[in-house]
Amino acid sequence: MTVHGERENIPSVDKAEAPKALERFTDTYNKAYRELDPALASQVETGPLEAITTADLKAQHASSPDGNPKYPSLELSDVNYRIPKQVGWPKFFVADTDSNRDDNRWLFVFTRGGADEPWKAAYLSILSQDEVPDFATDKDGWAKPVRAAGPAPKLATRPDKLSAEYADYLMTGKGSVFADGQSTSGLRDTRKKYLRTPKFWTEYIDSPAQGAQDTPVGLRTSDGGAIVFFTSHHRQKQTMAKGFRPNPDPQIKALMTGEAKRAVTLTRIAESAVRVPAKDAADPKVVFLNRLEGVTAAKGE
């Protein structure tokens, strides 16, 4: 009997297939960093994670064109697969792993847009042991997904609005659904220090993610809330005062177009994991658990 994933409510991935997807990712990721080859990373990554990784590899390759054969391999173990039942495409699952890099848990979100496409990692979030939530499951042990678009029942904030609300908050500081913290009020406070200095002034433009490759995904937690992974886009233009000239570091220069005579504009992508409370929670504020940001382009003027 054929099961049609586009119309049946079925597990997003077979329990035997998920470990193969993670193994393929790890093997190719390590090879990409040994060879410093962005094309390899693109075989196993998509969305914000691909954008950040490929820019990093491009920058490293510029200074080490022969690669990095001594790159210490990433090793993942003690994996918990959070597999939701879903109707239609795209589908996703989460691999909650231990790594040989630190004592935290590394959560990878794998997605694919159809049965003939390979699984690719779209998000990586690094959480402390205490930050990993108790994920909700149904009677058969499958994780419970959050609706990607439209209102999510019984959640304090719509997951598909998080990116726009975050960009608006960073730009204006008003109407925040987010709790204070390093990625919210702390980031705005840091930016204020660099708006105008004796040597330069800085302009910031934040915008929500809009492409299908940046679609947020989420899983329900046992307390009625959810963990949601989402993308946001950020630009920073630093213009030097008279008598000063920009001096970007080598990795930025490797990504740069134009010549940095007076100003440099950096384009960044951020991928975030947040805890969205239940609608009736005592505190409805969204809490950042992790935010990874990378420069993906630079322009000199």
pLDDT tens digits, one per residue of 50-71: 999 999 999 999 999 999 999 9
CA angle 176, 132, 174 (to 5 degrees): 5
C-alpha gyration radius of the chain: 20
Strands (E) across 130-225 are located at 200-208, 217-220
Query: How far is 49 from 38, CA to CA, in rounded Å?
Result: 12
pLDDT at 3: 46
pLDDT value at position 9? 87
| pLDDT > 70? residue 2 | no
**What is the structure's pLDDT at 8?**
81
Give phi and psi for 101, each to the nearest 5. -90, -35
Contact by Cβ (8 Å): 183, 189: no
- In percent, how much of the chain has pLDDT > 90? 91
- 211-228 pLDDT tens trace: 887 889 999 999 999 999
How confident is residue 122, by pLDDT bands cut at 50, 70 and 90?
Answer: very high
In this structure, what are the phi and psi dihedrals at residue 23, rounded to the nearest 5 degrees? -65, -45
Q: What is the pLDDT of residue 5?
A: 47
Alpha helices (runs of H) in the chain, residue ranges in sequence order = 17-35, 38-44, 47-63, 162-172, 185-192, 250-254
What is the chain's mean pLDDT, rounded?
94
Give the pLDDT score at 6.
57
Q: Which residues contact 229 (CB under 8 A, 6 or more apart)?
A: 109, 122, 123, 125, 216, 217, 218, 271, 272, 273
pLDDT band at 7 (very low <50, low <70, confident <90, very high): low
In the predicted model, is pLDDT for residue 242 greater than 70? yes
DSSP result, 236-248: EEEEEPTT-----
Q: How confident is the model at residue 210 (pLDDT cuts 50, 70, 90)?
A: confident
**Is pLDDT above 60 for 37?**
yes
171-194 pLDDT per residue, tens: 999 988 999 999 999 999 999 999
pLDDT in tens, 125-176: 999 999 999 999 999 999 999 987 777 678 999 999 999 999 999 999 998 8
pTM of the model: 0.94
Q: Report how far residue 22's alpha carbon sits from residue 40's, in angstroms, rounded to the nearest whole number.
A: 15
